[in-house]
Amino acid sequence: MLRLRDVKAYYETPRGVVKAVDGVTLDVRENEILGIAGESGCGKSTLLRAMYDSLEPPLKIVAGKVEAEMKNDRGETVTLAPGEIRKHWWRFISYIPQGSMSALNPVVRIEKQFFDAISSKHHLNNKREIHKRIASYLRELELPVEVLNSYPHQLSGGMRQRVLVALGTFLHPQIVLADEPTTALDVVIQKGILLMLAQVQEQMKNSLVIVSHDICVHYQITHRIAVMYNGKIVEIGPTETVFNKPLHPYTQMLIQSIPHVGDQKHREGISGRPPSLIDPPPGCRFAARCPFVMDICREEMPSLLEVEPDHFVACYLQREPLQARKGVG
Amino acid sequence: MSDLLLEIKDVTKVFRIGGLLFGTELLAVDHVNLSLDKHKPSILSIVGESGSGKTTLAKIILKLHEPTSGDVLLEGKSVFGPHPDLDTLAYYRAVQPIFQNPFESFSMRKYVDSYLYDTALNLKIAKDRKEARDIIADALSSVGLDINALAGKYPNQFSGGELQRISVARGLIPRPKLIVADEPVSMIDASLRMNVVNMFLSLKEKYNVSFIYITHDLSTAYYVSDYVAIMYRGNVIEYGSSDRILTNPMHPYTELLLDSVPTGGKKWERHLKLPDIELKEYHNTGCKFANRCPFVQAVCRLNKPPPVQIPGEREVLCFKPVDYELGRTTPSQEPEKVTI
């Protein structure tokens, strides 16, 4: 389990401080698939790096805290802080990156990369035993065992990404983070990989966090979804609820802008663009593009409020129930 | 002379991979025939996964690649024939590109509007910068932008959606008859995507511009296009009315594609086995989809599937609608019979 409390993760650049994650409070629960949705530059990948404790300059957590609750070998629950989380990479928490070509070492066979990644993290010391375990795990995931003898360039993009999923889940970590695991892949392969991730989560009953800009991907496989906009979470709740009854105007407009095969309804995008992360406005970050903007929206950022069980939204409209029901369209 | 704006006639493109002696050949585009009507502007989507040959085909239409065999005709005039009727300048006045990544189409060190001036002057649409300015202002206003808002600005001062809008305005400068857009929205955020796509629709209506929209995204293809061509390993496997094909696919591959698009509607079945796709598919003697097809029969592996015509609706490259019979190229007149 992961707990984030008012986390601010900033990049210090010569042009100014980029407030990529600006006050995020979030729990990653046990046995769930949590989706993080948002457009490019909204801070969703940075949030994942904060969770993974992968904080290299210029990225820094300047405020708030990230805590991880890990069950250790004796079954006790231990609380880890940033700096300690990274000592338990692969076993407790693992990360599936998006560019499968740059994530794997191009001149090392896949099997060696499995050995290198997990060598210090398991109790097996017999090489043959490890090989057997890896091979049987690949078979479980319906991957051909021959990939172990291949170099990354000999595999297709989809196969490489599946190898990364296998590598990231081999030691049964309690938390798996996947950053856009299917970008640049074809739709058929994308579906296969997403279903593979969902299937692995179902078997291990651990927590899976998926970052994707495609809100329909979240609808298909996540249990809960957090919608980010300009460094902040604007809405979070059970995926089904958020999809069928979005409460934040941004979520509403985003869902309505997506065309579907067989539906000829006219669709509009959202005009304008998100504000700069270096110098964000004082009020709600979406105010400049919001059709329902009020004076207060420009003055103070609304906080996340629970409007119905487990469904949180950061919007002043939701504090005046009459206006809220109108929604968009 | 011709009733067709653009005719792609039996175009084939072969790439050689590797050395002269031991290299292999890759059939990127395999005898493709497509056409666009001259009198009624339309949007044709070319849909396919990576490696399907859609970008190679686009590059041939944009005269960036020369086909190994076959020809492209613009209003009946040959582009690649032994005696081409059109020179490059005349061709680019009629056919203009929009590329995938707006952040790469513009140099970060040059003012955005310098590209618009270059186009106007290089294509000899305008004699001098003064005349060019009027033409550019006109092109920009047709995509809802003001020339003064661009002056002295660099690309990083615009969003992806705005830059793609400027790319379209640049393409509109010669008042072309056809715009070829290669994945124009794949690098743009979801919230801005529809603005670009809607612009295509309004330009088609207002300025009679036809579009070839190359994409892997079936949802926007359905939204925007009149016709659709589905490509697989170099072949156009289903081609015709976009509404008919995408709501009632006949080729098993089209069906697989439609089934894989994540939607906000029906949830996926939880199990799917991915094939181990190989390069070999390019060299299959029969149907290239045979190894993955759930309806495959012996005839599919050995023989090239026939182009089956469903009058007024589509063409399908598949044995299934003709009951796996060799030599029958027109099916019985019951297109509805094929429900998968």
CA distance A84 to chain B (A): 36
Q: Tell me what the pLDDT averaged over chain B comes to.
A: 86
CA distance B288 to chain A (A): 16
Question: What pLDDT was estimated at residue B60?
Answer: 95
Q: Is A250 exposed, middle or buried (0-12, 13-18, 19+ CB in 10 A)?
A: buried
Residue in chain A nearest B275 by alpha carbon: A189
Rounded Cα–Cα distance for residues B275 and B6 (Å): 37
Question: What pLDDT was estimated at residue B339?
Answer: 31
Between residues 3 and 22 of chain A, which touch chain B (CB distance below 8 Å)?
none
pLDDT over threshold 50, residue B329: no
Tell me how far CA of residue A247 lies from CA of A6, A197, A243, A253, A327, in angstroms.
22, 29, 9, 10, 7
DSSP state letter for B161:
H
Q: What is the DSSP string of A294-329?
A: -HHHHHSPPPPEEEETTEEE--GGGGSHHHHHH---
CA distance A162 to chain B (A): 10
DSSP state letter for B32:
E
Decide: B2 and B32 in contact? Cβ < 8 Å. Answer: no
Tell the residue number behind the tokens 């008012």, with chain if given. Answer: A6
Determine contact: A189 vs chain B, CB below 8 A. yes
Asked if B267's CB is within 8 angstroms of A220's CB, the reply is: yes
Asked if B162's CB is within 8 angstroms of A269's CB, the reply is: no
Asked if A269's CB is within 8 angstroms of B191's CB, the reply is: yes
| Mean pLDDT score, B33-40 | 93
Decide: B256 and B295 in contact? Cβ < 8 Å. Answer: no
Q: Are strands A207-212 and A175-179 parallel, antiparallel or unpaired?
A: parallel
Which residues of chain B are within 8 Å of residue A220 when distances are taken between CB atoms?
Answer: 262-263, 267-268
pLDDT tens readout for residues B231-271: 998 999 999 999 999 999 999 999 999 998 888 878 887 76
Asked if A262's CB is within 8 angstroms of B262's CB, the reply is: no
The ipTM is 0.83
Rounded Cα–Cα distance for residues A309 and A214 (Å): 25
pLDDT in 10s for each residue of chain A, 329 residues: 899 999 999 999 888 899 999 999 999 999 999 999 998 889 999 999 999 988 888 899 999 999 999 888 788 888 888 888 888 888 899 999 887 677 888 899 999 998 888 776 666 667 888 888 899 999 988 888 889 999 988 888 888 888 999 999 998 999 999 998 887 788 888 898 899 999 999 999 999 999 998 899 999 999 999 999 999 999 999 999 999 999 999 999 999 998 989 888 899 888 888 888 999 999 999 999 999 999 999 999 999 999 999 999 999 998 754 344 444 43
Helix crossing, A127-140 with A110-118: angle to 10°? 110
pLDDT over threshold 70, residue B284: no
Rounded Cα–Cα distance for residues B114 and B129 (Å): 10
For residue B308, list its beta bridge partners: B316
Asked if B262's CB is within 8 angstroms of A216's CB, the reply is: yes
The values of phi and psi at residue B224, to 5°, are -100, -25
Give the mutation candidate from B49, B159, B223 for the A interface (greatest A CB count, under 10 A): B223
Sign of CA dihedral B179, B183, B187, B190: positive
| Mean pLDDT score, B22-32 | 84
Between residues 34 and 73 of chain A, which touch chain B (CB distance below 8 Å)?
39-40
Rounded Cα–Cα distance for residues B66 and A41 (Å): 39
| Mean pLDDT score, B317-322 | 89
Q: What is the DSSP string of B96-165?
A: EEE-S-HHHHS-TTS-HHHHHHHHHHHTTS-SSHHHHHHHHHHHHHHTT--HHHHTT--GGGS-HHHHHH
Which residues of chain B are within 8 Å of residue A273 when distances are taken between CB atoms?
Answer: 159, 161-162, 192
pLDDT tens readout for residues B184-233: 888 777 778 888 899 999 999 988 999 999 998 899 999 999 999 999 98
Which residues of chain A are within 8 Å of residue B254 when distances are taken between CB atoms?
Answer: none
Asked if A267's CB is within 8 angstroms of B274's CB, the reply is: no
Between residues 198 and 257 of chain A, which touch chain B (CB distance below 8 Å)?
198-199, 213-217, 219-221, 243, 253-255, 257
DSSP state letter for B120:
H
Count Cβ–Cβ pairs < 8 Å, chain A vs chain B: 125
For chain B, domains (ranges, CATH) are 4-276 (3.40.50.300)
DSSP state letter for A274:
P
CA distance A72 to chain B (A): 32
In this complex, which of B246, B257, B262 lies closest to A214 when CB atoms are compared? B262
Asked if B264's CB is within 8 angstroms of A216's CB, the reply is: yes
Question: What pLDDT was estimated at residue B236?
Answer: 95
- Among B240-244, B282-286, B312-316, which is the least confidently predicted range? B282-286
Residue in chain A nearest B217 by alpha carbon: A187
| Mean pLDDT score, B142-164 | 86
In this complex, which of B50, B197, B264 lies closest to A219 when CB atoms are compared? B264
Residue A69: name the closest of A47, A37, A93 by CA. A93
Question: What pLDDT was estimated at residue A322?
Answer: 39
In this complex, which of A189, A215, A270 lies closest to B274 when CB atoms are compared? A189
Question: What pLDDT was estimated at residue A326?
Answer: 43
The token pair at B150 is 């661009």
Determine contact: A139 vs chain B, CB below 8 A. no
**What b/e string do you get for A198-216 counting C-beta neighbours within 10 Å, with b at 16 or more?**
bbbbeeeebbbbbbbbbbb
Confidence class for position B272, pLDDT limits 50, 70, 90 = low
